[in-house]
Amino acid sequence: MASGFFALLDDIATLMDDVAVLGKVAGKKTAGILGDDLAVNAEKASGFMSSRELPVLWAITKGSFLNKLIILPLAFLLSAFVPPAITVILLIGGLYLAYEGAEKIYEFFFPHAHADETPKLEKLSKEEVLAREKEKIKSAILTDFILSVEIIIIALGSVGTEALLTQIIVVTLIALVATVGVYGIVALIIRMDEFGAKLIDLNERENSFSDKIGKFLVSALPKVIKSLSVIGTIALLLVSGGIFVHNIHFLHGMFENIPGIIVEFVIGLIVGFLVLLIIKSGTKIWKKVAG
């Protein structure tokens, strides 16, 4: 009886050791997309009234956890029984991310005519503010879903030859880190100004060390938020381009003399504008037919 108990402990220790080693491998392979995930979601979670930032971020975080609960079991089942479906799902997600990135660039150069007439948040009614929040939360959760699929599939691919239990533990840990880590950092970013204000009010002395740090954080936040929009757009195109490069065979080795990051960005950009053109053309045709 005792020997069986100690044998079980030994098996558990061995499993945990394997999980630790494989977790590092999977973590390295998903590090790049986790960085992209951070940039995209930080941009998605910004732009709200100060009092609503954390509630909105919490709503997005809960949606991210729900995404993982949906994706993880499906990923294990599809990987075991219908492996080609994983590639199809990734490519569809890549098309969406490429389109979203291209649309942001298009809107920057060709903004809507009514863009300047959009009222500020302070001038909107409570119902209008909540409606905008729900729309942006929905968009953020959808983008998180696609990025989560990519993260989970990459992590799963790095442990695909291991035992099923090991796969489940490693990939689940990576998924949890992707949610807790990313949204924890996002929370720190969007609350920079609040933390800076508290440092300024920490003591009554003027130009103290805490005042300098506080003023720096307060003044840096608008620049960080603006840069996140640019970084998030680039990240969308890089992630989508990476999906196409890694999952469409004829693209492998086609641009060996060009750095991979440039290839992924250009491919994401080209595909994004092609999808944008198709959608805009389709929308115009539909309006003419419907009208």
Q: Which two tokens stand for residue 210?
A: 């805490």
pLDDT at 27 over 60: no
Q: Contact at 8 Å (CB) between 99 and 272?
A: yes
What is the percent of the chain where pLDDT is above 90? 8
Q: What is the mean pLDDT of residues 13-30?
A: 48
Which pLDDT value is given to residue 97? Answer: 81
Instruction: Provide the sign of the torsion angle of the four alpha carbons 96, 103, 233, 197, taken in this order.
Output: negative
pLDDT at 276 over 50: yes
Which pLDDT value is given to residue 125? Answer: 67
Q: How far is CA 250 from CA 86, 226, 245, 247, 267, in A?
A: 18, 37, 9, 9, 13
pLDDT at 286 over 60: yes
What is the percent of the chain where pLDDT is above 70? 74
| Residue-range definition of the domain harbouring residue 265 | 2-290
Which pLDDT value is given to residue 279? Answer: 93
Q: Contact at 8 Å (CB) between 211 and 205?
A: yes
pLDDT grade, residue 38 (50/70/90)?
low
What does residue 82 show for φ and ψ, rounded to 5 degrees?
-135, 70
CA distance 170 to 249: 27
- Closest by Cα among 236, 193, 239, 233 to 216: 193
Which pLDDT value is given to residue 43? Answer: 66
Which pLDDT value is given to residue 271? Answer: 94
Query: Per mean pLDDT, which of 60-64, 76-80, 193-197, 229-233 is the most reliable?
Result: 60-64
Could you tell me how far CA 256 lies from the centroid of its own chain? Answer: 28
Amino acid identity of 110? F
Q: Which two tokens stand for residue 251?
A: 């693209």
Q: Map tokens 């880590």 to a residue.
A: 181
Q: What is the mean pLDDT of the chain?
A: 75
Q: What is the mean pLDDT of residues 214-223?
A: 80
Cβ contacts of residue 35 below 8 Å, gap of 6+?
235
pLDDT at 139 over 70: yes
Q: Which two tokens stand for residue 212?
A: 């300098």
Q: Which two tokens stand for residue 257?
A: 């003399």
Which pTM does this prediction carry?
Answer: 0.66
Higher model confidence: residue 29 or residue 71? 71
Q: What is the mean pLDDT of residues 239-266?
A: 81
Give the pLDDT confidence of 175-201 residue by residue, as tens digits.
Answer: 888 788 778 877 877 777 778 888 887
If one counts the domains in the chain, the total is 1
- Closest by Cα among 145, 141, 157 to 30: 157
Q: Contact at 8 Å (CB) between 235 and 39?
A: yes
Higher model confidence: residue 240 or residue 40? 240
Give the pLDDT confidence of 99-110 residue by residue, as tens digits.
Answer: 988 998 998 888
pLDDT at 4 over 90: no
Which pLDDT value is given to residue 239? Answer: 78
Q: What is the mean pLDDT of residues 34-50?
A: 65
pLDDT grade, residue 217 (50/70/90)?
confident
Higher model confidence: residue 86 or residue 214? 214
Amino acid identity of 186? V
Which pLDDT value is given to residue 66? Answer: 92
